[in-house]
Amino acid sequence: MTIPLITLNDGHTIPQLGYGVFKVDPADTERTVSDALEVGYRHIDTAAIYGNEEGVGAAIAKSGIPRDELYITTKLWNDRHDGDEPDKAIAESLDKLGLDAVDLYLVHWPTPAKDNYVHAWEKMIGIRERGLARSIGVSNHLVPHLERIVAETGVTPAVNQIELHPAYQQRDITEWATAHGVLIESWGPLGQGKYDLFGTDAVAAAAAATGRTPAQVVLRWHLQKGFIVFPKSVRAERMAENIDVFGFELDESQMAAIDALDPLDGSGRVGTHPNDLN
Ligand SMILES: NC(=O)c1ccc[n+]([C@@H]2O[C@H](COP(=O)([O-])OP(=O)(O)OC[C@H]3O[C@@H](n4cnc5c(N)ncnc54)[C@H](OP(=O)(O)O)[C@@H]3O)[C@@H](O)[C@H]2O)c1
């Protein structure tokens, strides 16, 4: 299975598809990540708050896969933005993961009411300079947050990881990202199963026409939009289904029908609004 590599604005490359471990029970994480590596995933997306970095690290160590063939992302949690907390947090994450450096480190949420996300971003820049993260980025940042961190530090994040799926496309952020060379990572790419994407006419029709599953159609839509995805499943058969998305294409009309699923009123959102998480 060859997964396309795309180039970030700092020159490093990232596999466009990976495996996410949000809500994977820490006790089950070594098993699920081992399954994902066995199936062919090489990019793993975790976070300190998921409580399962140790499981990710254990699976990596057991796999024997050379470090340079893996792409590992983790994230700085919201209560670690102040002072030197980010430096302590990355050290703890690396210890749990059993790594010298992560490939990508993200500020998980901007927590705008605390007004400390610019400081957190300055600390991320230092973390990258010290070689503890090859690339740095943000998550759940809205356009005003992005504009502010770039204006105040001069450093543009490599990615912005945001809730994004056909029912919630966040076009203002994706347009800003394209204009500024920031790649979009779609979290909840399948709508977390909370939003019935698979039951929509657009997805069902494309699945019938291509002989693929609705999940494969939705993931294919993300890839053709240029987004990075890491669907989560605890089941090996779904991991195999979700990675098998490079042998077909959606045509223009199928893409347009899925594009039209976002009513642009925010009703498709399944997670918390970034301004409300502090
Ligand atoms: N930055 C952030 O704030 C943030 C927030 C949320 C998520 N994330 C990241 O994004 C990753 C993916 O998002 P997500 O886990 O929230 O949601 P998701 O990948 O959209 O959806 C996961 C759900 O879909 C089910 N599923 C997976 N593959 C399926 C398939 N082929 N057919 C039918 N159902 C399927 C899974 O169930 P089973 O497990 O039972 O198969 C699970 O209930 C996370 O794991 C995490 O790494 C980041």
State pLDDT tens for residues 30-54. Answer: 999 999 999 999 999 999 999 999 9
Burial state string for 144-164 with b = 16 or more CB within 10 A and e = fewer than 16: ebbebbeeeeeeebbbbbbbb
pLDDT of residue 147: 98
Q: Which residue's entry shows tokens 């203002």?
A: 172
pLDDT of residue 263: 78
Rounded to the nearest whole angstrom, what is the distance from the C-alpha of residue 232 to the centroid of ligand 1? 4
DSSP type of residue 4: P
> Nearest C-alpha to atom 10 of ligand 1 is from which residue?
187
**Burial class of residue 63, CB neighbours in 10 A (0-12, 13-18, 19+):** middle
pLDDT of residue 267: 82
22 lines ligand 1 (CB under 6 A): yes
pLDDT of residue 146: 98
Rounded to the nearest whole angstrom, what is the distance from the C-alpha of residue 45 to the centroid of ligand 1? 11
CA distance 85 to 103: 20
217 lines ligand 1 (CB under 6 A): no
- Angle formed by the axes of helices 214-225 and 236-243, nearest 10°: 40
pLDDT of residue 265: 76
pLDDT of residue 200: 94
> Nearest C-alpha to atom 13 of ligand 1 is from which residue?
188
Rounded to the nearest whole angstrom, what is the distance from the C-alpha of residue 267 to the centroid of ligand 1? 19
What are the Cα distances from residue 142, in Å, to 149, 161, 162, 184, 204?
11, 11, 9, 12, 31
> Nearest C-alpha to atom 7 of ligand 1 is from which residue?
187
63 lines ligand 1 (CB under 6 A): no
> Nearest C-alpha to atom 32 of ligand 1 is from which residue?
215
185 lines ligand 1 (CB under 6 A): no
> Nearest C-alpha to atom 8 of ligand 1 is from which residue?
187
User: Contact 89/99 with Cβ under 8 angstroms?
Assistant: no
Helix or strand holding residue 84 (H, E): none
Choose one of 216, 221, 233 to mutate for the ligand 1 pocket test, by most ligand atoms within 8 angstroms of C-beta.
233
> Nearest C-alpha to atom 26 of ligand 1 is from which residue?
233
Q: Which residues of the chain are under the pLDDT cut of 50?
A: none
* CA terminus-to-terminus distance, the chain: 40
Rounded to the nearest whole angstrom, what is the distance from the C-alpha of residue 189 to the centroid of ligand 1? 7
Looking at the DSSP bridge assignments, the partners of residue 133 are: 102
Q: Which of 41, 50, 71, 168 is catalytic?
A: 50
139 lines ligand 1 (CB under 6 A): yes
Query: Is 50 labeled as catalytic in the residue annotation?
Result: yes
Rounded to the nearest whole angstrom, what is the distance from the C-alpha of residue 186 to the centroid of ligand 1? 10
